[in-house]
Amino acid sequence: MEDWAAIGTNCSRVRALWTQVCINEQVVILDATRGPAFLACTVATRQDETLQMVELFSGGFSGWSQAAWAIREMGYPVNTSWLLDIEDSYDKPIQAQDRTTQIVRTVADLAEADFSRGPVAIFANIEHQWWHRAWIRAPPQLLVASPPCQPWSSAGQQSGLASPDGRLALLLAAICRVTQAWKEAGYECVSQQSLQLSEVGDGIRFFSAPEIASCHGALRPQFLPACDQTAMTMLGNALATPQAAVVLAHALQLFLKPGHRPDPAEAAAYCVNRAINSGNSVLARVTGGWMLVHVTEVGQIIASSHLRAQLEGLLQSAAASFYALSLGFGREADFVEQARIHCSTHVNLAEAMRLLRLEVDEVPQGPMRARECCQIGVEAVPVVPFQADVPRTSVCSGPILLCTPTGTIIVQAGVPDWLQQLKWAFDKCRSFNLGVVCLTCFGERLTCVSKFPPVVFIATEADDLHYSAPSFSREQVRACRLCSNGGQLVLSIAAEHALTWWIQAPSHLLECLGWQLISGDMPTEAGQTFQLSLQATGSTPPVPLCELRSYLRDLLFLAQLRHSTAAAELLLSEPILIQVVARSIGCLRLPAQLCVDKIEHMWRTACLAVDCWPTARVFSGPFPLRVESRLEDLVASPEVFRKGRDRCLVLTVMPETRGGGSKDENLQLAKSRVAALLLDRGVPLPATTKRSVAVAV
């Protein structure tokens, strides 16, 4: 009655398109109060150009809706308004795809649902009448459906209309007869298409739920029930997303203007390229089943505290999959350990030695067992390679070096227990249940495990880490001086910049290298200095004192580049890859008006602050750059070096060796050319560095 009251209040004229017909003597009564009824009346038009779609028989996979989401990501205005299915156990799978989905099971739920806040999933028998109120609440422009196909296949013994599921097709046809009523009212059906699933081969094979979801082109996170029968029923009735995208793209061409219509082939290719598969997904155990997600969406999943608690509670411990490397000197009886490194059993000793850049005469052959300890004699503890290279492939693989406050850990990416290895490393760093954060060597936050560089810093107390990557002006760096004091390094900062340094001091990065940054008293008078002292947290830190100067130099150089972007009016549209010799240290969007001369000045300022040789030149691969060149001009210039799949512009700082003269300049140019050519041909960074240094010999 509420619906009729709304019609009577807001509509001046009503036209019956489909009602029940009753004859009382000589009076013909059009009864719209019983059974499905469709009325045409005056309504207020929406100020919205988005095409609203309704999916019937959605199942838990909702292939039509996933196709609509994909086409919307391509930039076309289509949106799933609401879905309908009889199985109310599919609420978790549907909400896993879109957490804003509202669940409706009763008339009261439907009355409270807000169709403007997100999709609405209605769980009701299609033969019932109460859910038809949704047509009034959210009238769609597109109606899609994929009823059960078993009655028409050998799986359902081709029972056809003799089965209850087969008769659902008749009910769907009755609902779709509304189009005939619209035609009688003056409208015309301009498009009608159907899909036929291809026949499967003669071979018989049992597929797992993740395999079926992948074959159907899953794009959104999938909740797979633990019950195999439920999972097979949910996925077996699913409609493949690329197939649905083709039909939707054809339908949208009837609504959209020329030049703004999706190409069906591009829509299908988009779904195929974005689909979840075994090479780009993570299968995690959750309460009641499994969660299948793309690696790029893992962060969004664990951002939910409820799901994160389930993942951590059900994730098996990976402690048994690590062995220890004991680095030191002496024979086995009197061996003196200088450093201990934990390695995943997926990483053999030869790979670990190569990653640590250690040259050992004899390395034990064969795989290492869990909890085994291997003693390796070394002359000195290996220095962490400070590099922030982006993986060449879409998903990182191979060994990765984790620098943590509790020690160095080597994990293996791209294997089934990849996330378990990370969790083991995180748990080893946590204290008092504090959070952790993954960073590059120079503080840039890493939000996706697929983009991990070869070296990753794991910093603790993530909730209190407001400046993961420091940002200092040239004046603030110039006000700093690094000096030795009794075997320790001390940073002295002028009083006017003491507060900025105290807030942004990179103590979290130095802790990952085995050093503690201890702050002194804040200056109270002009002319006083604020001091930050570096002390080793262990007997043998991973980075010796002599190597900290070059690390702090690179860190302060990047801090000035970051600060220049904050005050810039216009930034470049593409990021610039910053290198020192052959090491990548960062990838930043820099000011378009920034000149090469200012970049060299930033380098000299950082060098003078830490007492390093300041002279350097900026190259782009083998091409020396003129000091007056601006970055916006370099982006359009053909005489620059670009790297990687994204063809990122490379700026390389080449420090000059002491002695000067044209000989040194030519030597640096030759080393730069050799390094650029080797890296472009895929030679690993350690081998590139070794060969470029050999040029000077």
Q: Model confidence over 277-300: pLDDT tens digits?
A: 887 888 888 888 888 988 878 777
Residues of the chain with CATH 3.10.20.90: 564-697
Confidence check: pLDDT of 320 > 70: no
**What's the farthest any 2 CA atoms get from each other in the chain?**
115
Measuring CA to CA, which residue among 343, 420, 334 is closest to residue 374? 343
Q: Quickly state the pLDDT bin for 236 (edges 50, 70, 90).
A: confident
What pLDDT sits at residue 681? 67
Question: pLDDT tens digits for 635-669?
Answer: 988 889 988 777 889 999 998 765 544 444 456 55
Q: Are 634 and 625 in contact (CB under 8 A)?
A: yes
Residue-averaged pLDDT of the chain = 81
> What tens digit of pLDDT does each residue of 329-372 get?
888 778 888 889 999 999 988 888 888 888 776 767 777 888 88
Coil, strand or helix at 267: helix
pLDDT attached to residue 61: 92
Judged against a pLDDT cut of 60, whether residue 194 lies above it is answered with no
pLDDT at 187: 55
Q: What is the pLDDT of residue 212?
A: 85
Classify 70 as helix, strand or coil: helix
Q: Given 3.10.310.10, 3.10.129.10, 3.10.20.90, 3.40.50.2300, which CATH number is that of 564-697?
A: 3.10.20.90
Whose CA is closest to 489, among 550, 540, 545? Answer: 545
Measured at the CA of 442, the angle between CA 440 and CA 445, to 5 degrees, comes to: 45
Place of tokens 């990765």: 400
Residue indicated by tokens 């769609």: 140
Annotate 232-263 with DSSP letters as a single string: HHHHHTPPPHHHHHHHHHHHHTTTSPTTS---
Dist. CA 86–CA 158, nearest whole Å: 22
Query: For residue 531, which of 568, 503, 492 has the smallest C-alpha distance?
Result: 492
pTM of the model: 0.62
Write the pLDDT tens digit of every residue in 468-491. 899 999 999 999 999 887 667 899
Q: Are strands 38-41 and 102-104 parallel, antiparallel or unpaired?
A: unpaired
Burial per residue of 351-379, b for 16 or more beta-carbon CB atoms within 10 angstroms, e otherwise: ebbbbbebeeeeeeeeebeeeeeeebbbe
Contacts of 492 by beta carbon, 8 Å cutoff, 6+ apart:
480, 481, 482, 483, 529, 530, 531
